[in-house]
Chains A and B, each alone.
Chain A
Amino acid sequence: MPSRGPDFDPEEFKRYARQAGARLRESRKLFYGIAIALVAIVTLWSGYYQVEPDEVALVTRFGRYVRTSNPGPHGKFPFGIERVLKVPVQRQLKQEYGFRTALAAIQSQKEQTDETKSEAVMLTGDLNVATVEWIVQYKVSDPYKYLFKLRDVEDTFRLMSEATMRSVVGDHSVTELLTVGREAIAARAKELLSEMCKRYDNGISVQQLVLQNVDPPEPVRPSFNDVNQAIQERERAINEAWAEYNREIPRARGLAEQKIQAAEGYAVERVNRAKGDADRFIALEEEYRKAPEVTRTRLYLETLAQTLPQAGRKLIFDERAKGILPLFPLGPVHEEARP
C-alpha cells in the first residue's frame, strides 16, 4: 500500500502505518462483530418459530418428519436443516358445493357461477334431475396424513364429496330428495364420505354435512309448484266439504229433535184432551142418569138457543100452511142476506 514517493520518510511511514494498522484492526473488529451479530440474528431467526393456538407444526429434518409441536414458541435447527409445516388442526374448515359465499357477514351473500351450477346438478334414482347445494364441515384429524398422504388433499376432498353426494342422491327418488328424504340423504352422504376419508387415509374427519337448497331444475320448477298448489286445492276442497257437512248435519239433527218433541207434545195433548173430554162426559152422564128427560130437553134447548141466533136466516113454517114455500123469493133475499 505505501508508495515510494520522492520524499519518503521511513519514520513518518512507520508512524503512519502503525496508525493505519491500529485503525484497520479496530474497523476489522467492528466488521467481524457486525458479521457475527448478523449470523447470530439469522441463526436465531431461522431457528425460531411460533405455533398459533389453532395449529400444530410438523417439523422435518432433511425432509424427514421428526416431531410435532403444539402451540407456543419453539426452536429448530436453522438454515433449512429443519423445516416447519403448520396445519390448522383446531380450525373448522368448510367447503361449499353448488354455491360460494361471496361475502360472509350477518347476512351472507351467495354467489353462483357456471362451475357451481354444474356442481349442483345431479341425477336422482328415478332418472330425474335435481339441483342440490350442500356444505361439508371438516377438521384435520391427522396432520401427518393430511400433509404426506395425498398431493392435493383439499381438491381430492371436493371430488370425494361430489361423488358421494351423487351416489346417495342417485339412490333416492326426486320426491324423497325434495321432501321426506333430506335428513336421511345428508346422514348417508356423511357416513359414506367419512368411510371414504378412512379409505383414502387423508387425515380428514368429516364433522357435518348439511344440505342447503334442494330444488328441481329451473324449467321444471313451476310444475313442482303446481303439485304443491294441487295439494293445497285438494285439502281446501275436502275442508270445504267437511265444513258443509258440519254446518248441515247438526242443524238437521236439531230439526229432527224438534219434530220428535212436537210429536210428543201432540200425543200428550191428545191424551190429555181425551182424558178431559172423557171426564167431562162421565160427569155429565152421572148427572144425566139422575134426570134423563129434563137434562136431555135442557141440552137440546140450550143448543138451539145458542145455534139459532148464529144462523143468518131462519125460516119456520107450518106444514099445514101450504102456500108459503112456492112464493118464497130465494134470490133477492139471498142477496140481501149476503152483505
Chain B
Amino acid sequence: MTLKRIVILGAAVLAIVVAGSMFYTVSETEQVIITQFGEPMGGAITEAGLHVKIPFTQEANVFEKRWLEWNGNANQVPTRDKKYIGVETYARWRIANPLLFFQRLRDERRAQSRLDDIIDGETRNVIAAHNLIEVVRSTNRPFEKAEEVEDVMEAESMLQIELGRDKITRLILDRVSKVVPDYGIELVDVQIQRINYIESVQTKVFERMISERKRIADRHRSEGQGKSSEIRGKKERELKVIESEAYRKSQEIMGKGDAEATGIYASAYNHNRELYKFVKTMETYRSSVDKDSWLVLSTSADAFRYLQSSAAQGAAGKPGK
C-alpha cells in the first residue's frame, strides 16, 4: 500500500511537470516563438490561448504583440536656417516579425538602443535639412489678424512652407521604416512631441518678441493720437463752418431787412421830399443839441426876428435851414 501510494504520487508529480512543460498559454498581448535546443521551430504563434509543445526539449519564447513605446531624448539640432532647437520625438513600434526580431535582437532592451540610434539619427538628418518653419507649421493658412494689430506683423510671420510638420514626420517615418524591418520591427508612427529653442536662442527670441510688442504698442498709441487729432481737426472745421455759415446767414437776413426798410422809407418820403428834409432837419436839431452845446443865434433868424420888431416879414414863410 505504501509503495503503491509512492508510485501514484510520483506519477502525479511527473504528470504535472510534463503537463507544465507541454502546455503553455499565449495571452492576447503576446506572441511566441518555439525553439528546440535553441533553434527556432516554425513561425510565430500569435493566436491567444492554450497551446501544446514537446516538453523539455522545446522552449516558448514570449514577445510582445502590442505597440511598444519609444521615447526619444531631447536632440539639439541646427535647422537648415541655422536655428538651434531641441527636438523631442516619440515613436511607436511593434515586433512584426518575432523570428527575425529574436534572431537579430533577442530582447526589447537591445531593440530600444537600436531604435535610439536609428530614429534620433534620422530625426537629426531630416531636421537639419529643413528650415525651422517647416517643422513648426503644418499648412500655409494665413493668420487671422486681430482687428487691432493689422499689418504690424510681416516678414517672419508669413514664411511659406513647402512640406510642413506632417510631411517632415512622414519623412522621418519613411526613412526609419527602410531600416527597421531588418530587425523584425515595424515602425507604426513617429511624431515630433516637442520643439523648443535652446536657451541662448530663446533669450534672443524673447527679445525679438518684446521689441515686436513694443512696435505694436507704439502703433496703438500713435494711432490713438492720430485719430484724436483727426477728430479734433474735424471739430475745428465744423466749428468754422457753423460759425461762418451763421455769420453769412445773419448778414444776409439783416441786409434783407435793411433793404426792405430802405425801400419803405424811400417810398414814403418820396411823397414829399421837401417836407421830409424839413422834418428830418428839425429832428436833427432836437437830438444834436445838449447842455454842453452853445447856440449862437442871430436876431435875423426866423425865430428871433420878433425880438427886434413885432412886424412880421415875409421871410417867416420861407423854409429854415
Contact = CB atoms under 8 A, between A and B. Distances in A.
Interface stretch (B14-22, B36-44, B65-73, B113-121): B65-73
Interface in A241-283: 241-242, 244-245, 248-249, 252-253, 255-257, 259-260, 262-264, 266-271, 273-275, 277-279, 281-282
Interface string B163-198: 001100000000000000000000011011111110
Contacts of A307: 285-286, 289
B320 interface: yes
A181 interface: yes
Contacts of B10: none
B282 A299 contact: yes
Interface stretch (A13-21, A34-42, A98-106, A229-237): A229-237
Contacts of A271: 257, 260-261, 264
B275 interface: yes
A256 B50 CA distance: 105
A209 B212 CA distance: 31
A289 B279 CA distance: 14
Contacts of A303: 282-283, 285-286
A118 B194 contact: yes
A221 B137 CA distance: 24
Contact of B66 (A61, A149, A274): A149
Interface stretch (A47-55, A88-96, A134-142, A168-176): A168-176
Nearest to B294: A313
A309 B259 CA distance: 37
Nearest to A63: B27
Given A296-B278, A317-B299, A123 B195 contact: yes
A162 interface: yes
Given A271-B261, A319-B300, A175 B143 contact: yes
Nearest to B69: A152
Nearest to B152: A175
Which of A64, A160, A240 is the most central at the interface, judged by chain B CB atoms within 10 Å of its CB? A64
B285 A220 contact: no
A240 B220 CA distance: 16
A336 interface: no
Contacts of B66: 148-151
User: From DSSP, what is the main secondary structure of chain B's interface residues?
Assistant: helix
Interface stretch (B1-9, B96-104, B240-248): B240-248
Interface string A151-174: 110011001101100111011111
A293 interface: yes
Given A60-B27, A121-B196, A150-B92, A315 B253 contact: no
Nearest to A171: B138
B202 A274 contact: no
B139 interface: yes
B277 to A, nearest CB: 11
Interface in A300-338: 300-304, 306-308, 310-319, 337
Given A147-B28, A230-B220, A312 B282 contact: no
A223 B299 contact: no
A313 B295 contact: yes
Nearest to A58: B28
Given A270-B261, A316-B297, A284 B246 contact: no
A171 B157 CA distance: 11
B297 A274 contact: no
A219 to B, nearest CB: 5
Interface residues of A, number: 118
B297 A299 contact: no
B107 interface: no
Given A64-B49, A230-B218, A237-B225, A263 B28 contact: no
A174 B272 CA distance: 94
Interface string B248-285: 01111110111011111101110110011011001101
Given A159-B193, A270-B258, A64 B213 contact: no
A270 B196 CA distance: 88
Interface stretch (A2-10, A23-31, A67-75, A124-132): A124-132
A330 B189 CA distance: 129
A166 B25 contact: no
Contacts of A152: 69
Interface of A: 60-65, 118, 121-129, 147-152, 155-156, 159-160, 162-163, 166-168, 170-176, 179-181, 199-200, 216-217, 219-220, 223-224, 226-227, 229-231, 233-238, 240-242, 244-245, 248-249, 252-253, 255-257, 259-260, 262-264, 266-271, 273-275, 277-279, 281-282, 284-285, 288-289, 293, 296-297, 299-304, 306-308, 310-319, 337
18 contacts: A60-B28, A148-B65, A167-B138, A173-B144, A173-B153, A181-B144, A200-B92, A227-B217, A252-B242, A253-B242, A255-B246, A256-B245, A260-B249, A270-B257, A270-B258, A277-B268, A299-B279, A319-B300
Top 8 A-B residue pairs of the complex, sorted by shortest distance between their CB atoms: A267-B257, A234-B224, A256-B246, A278-B268, A263-B250, A63-B27, A274-B261, A241-B228
